[in-house]
Amino acid sequence: MNKASKIYIAGHRGMVGSAVWRALTKKGYSNLVGRTSKELDLKNQQQVIDFFEKEKPEVVIDAAAKVGGILANNDFPYQFLMENMQIQNNLIDSSLKAGIEKFIFLGSSCIYPKFAPQPLKEEYLLTDPLEPTNEWYAIAKITGVKSCQAIRNQFNKDYVSLMPTNLYGYFDNFDLKSSHVLPAMLRKFHEAKLNDNASVNLWGSGTPMREFLFVDDMAEAVVYALENKLPEYLYNIGTGKDITIKELAETIQEVVGHKGLINWDSTKPDGTPRKLMDVSKMKELGWQYSTELEDGIEKTYKWFLKNIDSIKEVKLEAN
């Protein structure tokens, strides 16, 4: 891959897209292109077509999506299905028609069936029903994966899909109403520490197991896919290791320096008992994660402290 190749990163202002931008800049890529949602509405087919005709990117990395938690997915199923399909369909189809040879599509581990065996293998895709709470988002992402696979099969282009596990890190969402478990815990422990080490109340029993990947490691996986032609259409990206939610809470508590009690509310739901990715395919090709969980949490907490005054006002864009 030529360091001067024009690379368009859709979603360059989000947590993943910004990490990809940093990783590519660090490696000397000098011709990166990004547009905010105000500058380019990825749901608008004609705007995307016009953008490709004007900018003529050579590579496209799709880190753009409409995202949200369980409540948002439940309340707005049509938007999560349709808007994500519009975004990715416009990007994928315009890339194909523009003759772009390399396209990297980023998705989510939620594409796999709810009760698939653990760890989750790529071949489990479409073998059973999805988790109902986010099936609309998952179905949209599955159509993106299958679109890229179809282009590989029919046109022999290097279109590949990367499915990350739970991501965390710089520019994460720390809003307690809509954030995921790790950034939500980090903020809770920080605020409790400031409040005379008040006790922290957490949902569930703490026994479910989850896998977490530092977002800069995800960005390195994208760079690896950019610089190499991967032989298959779909790859899991993660650590291949998981911990209990209780262990996660204790690790975050230690990093933050909170000295109070943790109260587990077992009347609240635990969710899926375990969700672990099989990452052996990427490992066999030569890529694996490098940031251990505690190190990643420390880096995230330092970033959080540095940006705490602006975090409430930060609105990360989908594209």
Cα 18 to chain centroid distance, Å, stands at: 11
Q: 258: annotated binding-site residue?
A: no
Give the closest residue to 245 by CA, choosing from 273, 286, 208, 217.
208
177 token code pair? 């109403």
Asked about 29 being catalytic, the answer comes back as no
Is 314 annotated in some ligand binding site? no
- Tell whether 166 is in a known binding site: yes
The CB density around residue 117, as the number of other CB atoms within 10 Å, is 12
Q: What is d(CA 160, CA 236) in angstroms, rounded to the nearest whole number?
A: 11
Compute the half-sphere exposure of residue 177: CA atoms within 13 Å on the CB side of its CA.
Answer: 3
Distance (Å, rounded) from C-alpha 263 to C-alpha 86? 43
Please give the pLDDT value at position 71: 73
**Sign of torsion, CA 317 61 308 27?**
negative
187 assigned binding-site residue: no
Q: So what's the pLDDT on residue 156?
A: 98
pLDDT at 312: 55
pTM: predicted TM-score of the whole model, two decimal places: 0.94
261 is in an annotated binding site: no
Below-50 pLDDT ranges, the chain: 313-319
Strand partners, 105: 62, 161
Question: What pLDDT does 179 receive?
Answer: 80
Report whether 13 belongs to an annotated binding site. yes
17 labeled part of a ligand binding site: yes
Domain boundaries, the chain: 7-311
For residues 153 and 51, what is the distance between their CA atoms, to the nearest angstrom? Answer: 26
The pLDDT assigned to 319 comes to: 38
Q: What is the pLDDT of residues 156-178, one digit of tens each?
A: 999 999 999 999 999 998 988 77
CA pair distance 262, 265, nearest whole angstrom: 10
One of 2.60.40.180, 3.40.50.720, 3.30.70.20, 3.40.50.300 is the CATH number of 7-311, namely: 3.40.50.720
The pLDDT assigned to 311 comes to: 73
Asked if residue 82 belongs to a known ligand binding site, the reply is: no
Q: Is 167 annotated as a binding residue?
A: yes
- How far apart are alpha carbons 295 and 121 in whole angstroms? 27
Please identify which of the residues 137, 233, 289, 301 carries the catalytic annotation: 137
- In the prediction, which pLDDT does 317 show? 40
Instruction: Please provide residue 182's backbone torsions phi and psi, each rounded to the nearest 5 degrees.
Output: -70, -55
